[in-house]
Amino acid sequence: MAGQQQQQQQQQQQTMEVDPVSKFKLLVPHLKESLVNLMRIAGQNLVHNAAIDNQLKSGDNPSQRVDKNLEEFYSTLDQIELNLRLAQECLTQHQESVRHAPLPVPIMSKPEPSGEGQTMPYGQFLGLARSQVTCAKEIHDALVRCADDLGGKR
């Protein structure tokens, strides 16, 4: 029983490492922290520059730099954007797969031991994909021939 729970935890952890939505959820607190740091340092720099302008302080450089924190903020933001785009692409691909494949294709590399219905083995999926590509090529060729025939009659 404990071995099964440990295996389930490992599968959940592996899923979280792969799942872009989970990565997004993990990055949001980091983004908030980065934004708070950026605003704090920018405020400190603003106060420091105001003091210099009012001739209360000399032109010492503040210890923390805004550009470094701004770069960290944008880096986290870029990671979030990439994960959201990846999640959107995965969703689109899944919807297309459901629409065009008669049986669902397993998403995980290891099949889950649940009885959720039938899934299509990867080899069978490849055969289905090849037949769909062949069909698309035949349709394309037929359309090209039809366009040539129509163009030749003018």
Sequence spans of domains, the chain: 1-100, 107-154
Task: Give pLDDT tens digits for 125-144.
Answer: 888 888 889 989 999 999 99
From 89, 87, 117, select the one nearest 24 (Cα to Cα). 87
Query: Where residue 109 falls among pLDDT bands split at 50, 70, 90?
Result: low
Query: Where residue 5 falls among pLDDT bands split at 50, 70, 90?
Result: low
Gap between the Cα atoms of 154 and 147, Å rounded: 11
